[in-house]
Structures are given as structure tokens and as C-alpha cells.
Homo-oligomer: A and B are copies of this chain.
Amino acid sequence: MRFAVTYRVVAADLVEARARANDIAVEQTVEIPREIVPGGYVEDEILGRVEAVEPVKDAFSVTVSYANADVGGDFLQLLNVVFGNSSIKTGMRVVSVDLNDELTGLFPGPRFGRSGLRAMLGVPKGPLLMSAIKPVGLSTAELARTAHRFALGGMDMIKDDHGLVDQASAPFKERVAACVDAVHKANAKTGGKSIFIPNITGTAKGFFERALFAKTAGAGAVMVAPALQGHAAVQELAADPEFGLPIVSHPAFSGANVIAPANGFSHRFYFGQLQRLMGVDAVVYPNFGGRFGFSIGECQDIIKGCTDDFGPYAPILPTPGGGMSIESAPGMAEIYGEDVIYLIGGALLREWDDLEGACRRLANAVGRTG
């Protein structure tokens, strides 16, 4: 069976675009000059096949198909076939992938997805709310107190800042235990179902140990930065039946993958399709209008990647964050609708004297009822 990848390719004209398309087909598979590709299996199956070359705005859309046999069941080799060496060529960008049942059967995707997260949080409709405990350098007690107050204010998901790892000021195990407890105590008061979401990082081996510790300690989900930890590690954690919690993905260290429009990956692929392929349930990314430079169009591209039909994979929740405020929240509803997690950190922490009230004002501002 074959699967297809669509690229955006910069070229002066159709002739050059076709040449670059053939180049991708060779580079991503056999990586030897075309004229010495062995006939038979290698040429007929392994060699990439150019399926389409069409002009699009300021560039060309190129679709190349590849054999499942080249992937060999290896998640990283799938990524390598999609965009290994070609990532280093100028003016080539991955737009989207179209997989097949045999491949998607190997990588189970989101365990919870949008509907699973809503069920866990007891919020069947309306936007979900997330905040973050921070900054690094506070003690475990201070961070746990913040988590407690966010939960009292009705935030559905309270996550670690992505810079919280195992610093001496708030060691991982101590922090997770204290924050889970703080959120549970708030739930007991409010009747809510807020969850605590620790940031999981560490060595290749330690990563899994921390994730399992978080589960045992009562965390509701975990957060991982795939560009730091590695995309296979996230895929493996999501697929691990012993783990079985939702995964929130953080964009730290990933900026270069999307930021140059002619290279890297489309927002739709990187923050949408790839996340679902890994098994992520909610993907954090910088919202438009905040302190990062994503446009409304790029954010809509992410929504598409999170929710479009994509094999057997459930839709997941876009989680825009970064510089949001209570004031800017209503405008976001027009873009995101109901199926979104609003991540607001700094803007709530500014209201420390009445943090719980600020959380409720945020809920009102985004039209969250109940």
C-alpha cells in the first residue's frame, strides 16, 4: 500500500516544479542518482512516485506517494520519509499527509480526543478553560496554592508551566503530589472535576517513569513538548496501555518547524495531523493577537488539522495560549467556536488578589455556562 504527502514547493515555473518534485521522490526514498536506481522492487515500490504537480499561490503543490514498505513499521522512519533530507532544501514545506489503514493501524492516535476529554472533565459543551502554575523558582507550596485557587475558580485544567521540571525549588514528585492534592481539595469544595496536568520531561528512560508516576499520583493528564522530548516518545507514551491518560502537547522548541513560510511544516500538519498521529489529545500553540506572531489564518489552519477527517483519528482540541487576556477572549469565540481550550496564564496571575474571581470573569467572557 502507498500513502501520500503534499508539499508546497517554490519554483520558477512548472518545469522546475516537476524537477523538484522528482527530486523529492528520490531524496526521500532511495537517495541515489535516479539513473542508478535498481530496477524491480526498488524502482517499482520503494522509489517515491510523483502523483501531482499543480500551481498554487506563489508556488506549486506537489503530491508524492511512498510505499508503506519503506516505513518498516517505524514511526520515526515515517517522519523521515515525509520530510527527512528534503527538510534541508530551500523552498519545500510539508502541507499535509494522507495515510492508509495499514499505517494508521500501527499508530493508534488520540486515546481521548475532544469527546474523551469533555467526558472526563464533565463539560459536554462550551469552551474548556486551562491555566498554568508558574513561575519556575516558586516553592512547591506556592505552586500548589496557585493550583488550588485556579481549581476553586473553576478552571478545568491546571497545568505546570512547561519550564517546571525537577528543579530544587519544586522537585517533580513533591510538586505533582502537592498539586494533585490541592486540586482535589478544591474539587471537594466546589463539586468540580478540575484536573492537574504535570509537565513530563527527562531522560529518554526517565520520561516514562515520570509519566507513570504522574498517573499513580492522580494527575488527570500530562503535558509533553514533542519537539524537545522527541516525537516517537510521545507516540509511544500515548499508545502505552499501562499509561492511558490524556496528553497535552506544548510547542516549546518547535518554532523553527513552522515559522518560515517556505520551509518546515504547515501549521495544519505540525499542530494538527502530526499531533493526532502521535496520539495527543489537546495541542497548545500561540494564539493570534497575543505576543507571538501566528495569524488568524494560521490558527484556522491548526483548527483544520485538529478536526478534519484524518483516517481513524478522533478530533482533538486546539488550545490557543500565549498572551491572551479576559478582554480578548470574546473575539476568539468567533474564530474557535465551542470546541476549544482557552489557555490563560499570565493575565489571570495579574489578578492575584482575586484569582478565583478572575477565573469566573474569564468563564463569563468566553460564554462558558455551568
A residues contacting B by CB (< 8 A) are 23, 27, 29-33, 36-38, 41-42, 45-46, 69-77, 79-81, 83-90, 134-138, 161-163, 165-169, 201-205, 207-208, 225, 228-233, 236, 251-260, 263-265, 286, 291-293, 322, 345-346, 349-350, 352
Contact = CB atoms under 8 A, between A and B. Distances in A.
A184 B169 CA distance: 53
Nearest to A201: B76
B42 A137 contact: yes
A38 B258 CA distance: 33
B252 A87 contact: yes
A326 B361 CA distance: 69
B136 A46 contact: yes
Contacts of A263: 255-256, 259-260
Nearest to A142: B38
A256 B257 contact: yes
A32 B252 contact: no
Nearest to A347: B33
Contacts of A38: 135, 137-138
23 contacts: A32-B349, A38-B138, A45-B137, A46-B137, A70-B136, A72-B165, A72-B167, A77-B163, A77-B165, A83-B255, A84-B253, A85-B252, A87-B252, A87-B253, A87-B255, A88-B292, A89-B293, A205-B208, A228-B232, A233-B233, A256-B265, A259-B260, A260-B263
A71 B254 CA distance: 19
Given A31-B161, A83-B255, A88-B255, 11 more contacts: A32-B134, A32-B349, A42-B135, A69-B168, A74-B201, A74-B202, A76-B165, A80-B252, A88-B258, A229-B230, A256-B264
Contacts of A36: 346, 349-350, 352
A5 to B, nearest CB: 13
A345 B31 contact: yes
Contact of A41 (B33, B87, B169): B169
A29 B163 contact: yes
Contacts of A166: 72-74
A31 B163 contact: yes
A31 to B, nearest CB: 6
A155 to B, nearest CB: 16
Contacts of A252: 80, 84-85, 87
A139 B132 CA distance: 52
B292 A69 contact: no
A230 B204 contact: yes
Query: Which among A36, A86, A232 has the highest number of chain B CB atoms within 10 Å?
Result: A232
A168 B87 contact: no
A86 B260 CA distance: 14
A163 B80 contact: yes
Give the 9 A-B residue pairs with the shortest CB-CB distance, closest first. Answer: A230-B230, A87-B255, A260-B260, A30-B135, A88-B255, A46-B137, A256-B264, A84-B252, A72-B167
Nearest to A172: B72
A89 B294 CA distance: 9
A80 B225 contact: yes
A195 to B, nearest CB: 21
A29 B134 CA distance: 10
Nearest to A170: B72
